[in-house]
Structure 1
Amino acid sequence: MSYSQLQQEIAYSISKDNFDQWLNCIPELNKLTTTPQDPYYHGEGNVWIHTQMVLRALIAQDEFAKSGPEEQFILFMTALLHDIAKPETTIIDEISGRISQPRHSKKGEISSRILLWRLGVPFELREKICRIIRVHQVPFYALSDNIRNKSPEWLIHCLSWELPIWMLCMQAKADVQGRICADKNRILDEVELFKQLAFEEKCLYQPRQFIDDYTRIQYFRGANVWPDDVLYPQKGANVILMSGLPASGKNSWVNKYKPTLPVASYDDARNQFKLKYGQNEGLVIQAVLAKVKQYLRDKQPFIWNATHLSQDMRQKALNLLYAYHAEVEIVYLEQSEKTLYQRNSSRNSSLPNKRIKQMFSKWEVPLPTEAHKVTYLINRN
């Protein structure tokens, strides 16, 4: 199935008020039909029943009818896939019988990314879908819970740089309306208050404005500064942090566009020590970190070339860079699955294709909030 076919299926679903064909279009959804939910939060039944109710609640919203075709695609696919990871995360307590699905939002983000990537959904649309899925429950409790010891305003400012908050609010509202639970009205009030706060902060429909990128990054990293304040930077190295699956073209990009910059690379370190992928990784990491720290101390512009695939791994690298006051640009590259395997098979590498496939489970595309600049290069030769 292609992106255009998905659009046709959406139009058909809406016109017929019937979503059963999606079980054939996206076979992964069939597991939702047998995945239970806790009756306290979901008295309607299994995950597929809930998903269909959410879709109907979404389509009934006035904002949906007023949205353009691409916006409707994002909203519909978000509602369709928002609980796709519940089957793999379901836990039933042996004593109480209570059902939980911990971290299904984050796992759903990655599962949806892989699925939509394979279906050829355009990158920008795909990432909006995945980012909303990752935080689709946040409006339920953002104003009442202390998330990461940050204020609701900080959270909304941050989210406004990652996704369209108005779409997140539409998904959250439909998610609540598409269920049977005792505190539905309370949760709907929370979602509406979240939306109103985003409107008051001038970031319901656009990112929160900052005085400059340095202040923005320091604010998102927890500095005691307000977006409109001027925070004068401490000068460090200019660093390009590469990111992307193996064989996505990182080395080629560096050689073509930044051939004179020094490079810290795990592959180069393996070649230096004559090691295959996975052999003595501790030695490889130590060698690369030593080179990175030397560049940072010297305030030498350089490239850190690695997959930096998961947000946790990138944060470790970014924490080091920002500790030395570096100015960071993340350059993210992406190719189709077929291209990745073909490129990897044709190059001199000890990394098998099956290992690349295993890495998909950690695939988190860099967010605009992670660096001073994030560049996305999709399907570039």
Structure 2
Amino acid sequence: MWSWKQMAALVPHAAGDDVDWAACLQAFPQLELARTTPQDPVFHAEGDVWTHTQMVVRELLEDGDYARLAPAERETVFLAALLHDVAKCSTTQVDDHGRISQPGHSRKGALDARLMLWEAGAPVAQREAICRLIAVHQMPFFAFADSRRGLSPEFIVRELSWQVDLHLLVLLARADIRGRICPDVGNVLVNIELLRELALEEGCLRTPRRFASAETAVRYFRGAELHPDYALHEEPGSQVVVMCGLPASGKNTWVAQHHPGLPVVSFDDARAELGLRHGQNEGAAAHLAVDKARALLRAGAPFVWNATHLSRQMRGKSVDLCLAYGARVQLVHLEAAKPVLLERNRNRDTTLSNAALLSMLHRWEVPLPTEAHGLQLLASERP
């Protein structure tokens, strides 16, 4: 298995530098499947996914803005380009008319890249920067062409600026459309440039779009019709720390160290109180934990909500409940290296096997800054 240091060493500094394609395939074995993964010939007349990927990477290196990036930025956008279609092999569908599509490949690709880079020991923040670029790499194509979610270009740009460095996203999108043989390349490049210009107008090409307050941002990204510069009135409410992370990632230890005096709402504690094993009658355990959270929220008391909260959907239920009571929510995502995680799980008192723990990885969606009032991405140390 390749280490993060070895992966980062693959990254060229400028257009004239060679790409070691054989080493790229060794570092990311899933890319081998790209060689035999077909694409729709209308939008990818160049052929298979690996051919397209190589073309995209070459276009990225030819972009004059690439050489002007800082080393860590080059690593981020290069690896995002290399892995941007890594999940096409597992999402390919052929309809009754022979048309090829890969629905959801961006989102699935972000998850696949996360697992590969996690096992390699990539720094958490940089890994997530890569994965977020992969997850939204096609958004610049459509932000001005059509609104697939019924959202305005302004909303899309503001939201994206909180997830990725838009300058890097523009570089990736330009390379992606140039690195293929398809009609209408010119119009797509215009859409990408329009997104870039709007980001400049909004002051968020390299940094998140500024909001009047964290409360304004949270409500805006949840669909409230308000302007980012409008400061909402905030009633005093609970201050809630919502923990996220795989079992055995060190959440209990972190809570004990950083919030020793706060009440803790925990699904594990609810299971223990009800005498349940892991995976047994999860609904009853969740109901008990939510009831305890509601009581604390009604009282306006600060507390920690300690659970895995692995997927955005599961986190959303907890965060939405807190926001309904006017609480201020801080997400804390904690993780550990794979060997540490499995060792901890073996040595702790739990009914959760290592095999069951690893099966949870397919649901691992690291939180985004748009989900709550604040977000911390942390890596726990070996005990």
TM-score for both structures, normalised by structure 2: 0.96
Give the structure 1 partner of residue 51 of structure 2: 49
Amino acid at match of 1:79: A
Rounded to whole Å, the distance in 1 between the matches of 2:114 and 2:341 is 16
Rounded to whole Å, the distance in 2 between the matches of 1:335 and 1:268 is 22
Give the structure 2 partner of residue 249 of structure 1: 250
Report if aligned partners of 1:92, 1:100 keep a CA contact under 8 Å in 2. Answer: yes
Give the structure 2 partner of residue 152 of structure 1: 153
Give the structure 2 partner of residue 5 of structure 1: 6
Deviations 1:257-304 (A, max 9, x none): 212211111100111111110111111111111111111111111111
Give the structure 2 partner of residue 85 of structure 1: 87
Query: Once the 2 structures are TM-superposed, how far is the Cα of residue 256 of structure 1 from its aligned partner?
Result: 1.9
Give the structure 2 partner of residue 61 of structure 1: 63
% identical equivalent positions: 45
Rounded to whole Å, the distance in 2 between the matches of 1:79 and 1:33 is 16
Q: Structure 1 228/59 Cα, relative in aligned 2: closer, same or farther at 3 Å?
A: same
Alignment of 1:153-168 (within 5 A): 153-168=154-169
Rounded to whole Å, the distance in 1 between the matches of 2:359 and 2:93 is 24
Bigger drift between 80-89 and 154-163 goes to: 154-163
Deviations 1:308-357 (A, max 9, x none): 01111111111111111110011111100001000000000001111111
Give the structure 2 partner of residue 305 of structure 1: 306
Give the structure 1 partner of residue 41 of structure 2: 39
Bigger drift between 280-289 and 254-263 goes to: 254-263
Rounded to whole Å, the distance in 2 between the matches of 1:221 and 1:361 is 25
Rounded to whole Å, the distance in 1 between the matches of 2:366 and 2:160 is 15
Q: SS of the residue aligned with 1:15? A: coil
Amino acid at match of 2:34: L
Rounded to whole Å, the distance in 2 between the matches of 1:181 and 1:20 is 27
Report if aligned partners of 2:124, 2:377 keep a CA contact under 8 Å in 1. Answer: no
Rounded to whole Å, the distance in 2 between the matches of 1:224 and 1:8 is 46
Q: SS of the residue aligned with 1:329? A: strand
Amino acid at match of 2:49: V
Give the structure 2 partner of residue 112 of structure 1: 113
Q: SS of the residue aligned with 2:112? A: helix
Rounded to whole Å, the distance in 2 between the matches of 1:257 and 1:4 is 31
Amino acid at match of 2:43: Y
Gaps of 5+ in 2: none
Bigger drift between 202-211 and 140-149 goes to: 140-149
Alignment of 1:133-282 (within 5 A): 133-282=134-283
Rounded to whole Å, the distance in 1 between the matches of 2:366 and 2:288 is 26
Rounded to whole Å, the distance in 2 between the matches of 1:291 and 1:322 is 16
Amino acid at match of 1:216: A
Query: Once the 2 structures are TM-superposed, how far is the Cα of residue 176 of structure 1 from its aligned partner?
Result: 0.2
Q: SS of the residue aligned with 2:377? A: strand
Gaps of 5+ in 1: none
Bigger drift between 348-357 and 139-148 goes to: 139-148
Give the structure 2 partner of residue 16 of structure 1: 18
Rounded to whole Å, the distance in 1 between the matches of 2:8 and 2:302 is 45
Rounded to whole Å, the distance in 1 between the matches of 2:252 and 2:271 is 15
Query: Once the 2 structures are TM-superposed, how far is the Cα of residue 66 of structure 1 from its aligned partner?
Result: 0.8
Report if aligned partners of 2:250, 2:380 keep a CA contact under 8 Å in 1. Answer: no
Rounded to whole Å, the distance in 2 between the matches of 1:185 and 1:165 is 20
Rounded to whole Å, the distance in 2 between the matches of 1:202 and 1:257 is 35
Query: Once the 2 structures are TM-superposed, how far is the Cα of residue 210 of structure 1 from its aligned partner?
Result: 1.3
Query: Once the 2 structures are TM-superposed, how far is the Cα of residue 36 of structure 1 from its aligned partner?
Result: 0.2
Amino acid at match of 1:64: Y
Report if aligned partners of 2:84, 2:137 keep a CA contact under 8 Å in 1. Answer: yes
Rounded to whole Å, the distance in 1 between the matches of 2:22 and 2:16 is 12
Query: Once the 2 structures are TM-superposed, how far is the Cα of residue 3 of structure 1 from its aligned partner?
Result: 2.1
Rounded to whole Å, the distance in 1 between the matches of 2:150 and 2:300 is 33
Amino acid at match of 2:123: P
Query: Once the 2 structures are TM-superposed, how far is the Cα of residue 251 of structure 1 from its aligned partner?
Result: 0.8
Report if aligned partners of 2:330, 2:373 keep a CA contact under 8 Å in 1. Answer: yes
Query: Once the 2 structures are TM-superposed, how far is the Cα of residue 17 of structure 1 from its aligned partner?
Result: 4.5
Report if aligned partners of 1:248, 1:333 keep a CA contact under 8 Å in 2. Answer: yes
Amino acid at match of 1:96: H
Q: SS of the residue aligned with 1:364? A: coil
Report if aligned partners of 1:81, 1:112 keep a CA contact under 8 Å in 2. Answer: yes
Query: Once the 2 structures are TM-superposed, how far is the Cα of residue 201 of structure 1 from its aligned partner?
Result: 1.1
Bigger drift between 158-167 and 256-265 goes to: 256-265
Query: Once the 2 structures are TM-superposed, how far is the Cα of residue 75 of structure 1 from its aligned partner?
Result: 1.0
Give the structure 2 partner of residue 121 of structure 1: 122
| Paired residues, number | 380
Report if aligned partners of 1:143, 1:194 keep a CA contact under 8 Å in 2. Answer: yes
Report if aligned partners of 1:309, 1:362 keep a CA contact under 8 Å in 2. Answer: yes
Report if aligned partners of 1:225, 1:231 keep a CA contact under 8 Å in 2. Answer: no
Rounded to whole Å, the distance in 2 between the matches of 1:376 and 1:22 is 28
Q: Structure 1 14/326 Cα, relative in aligned 2: closer, same or farther at 3 Å?
A: farther
Query: Once the 2 structures are TM-superposed, how far is the Cα of residue 200 of structure 1 from its aligned partner?
Result: 1.2
Deviations 1:147-202 (A, max 9, x none): 43321111111111111001011100000000000111111111111111111111
Rounded to whole Å, the distance in 2 between the matches of 1:280 and 1:312 is 20
Please, what is the CA RMSD of the aligned residues? 1.4
Bigger drift between 55-64 and 152-161 goes to: 152-161
Rounded to whole Å, the distance in 2 between the matches of 1:243 and 1:14 is 43
Rounded to whole Å, the distance in 2 between the matches of 1:67 and 1:110 is 26
Amino acid at match of 1:268: D
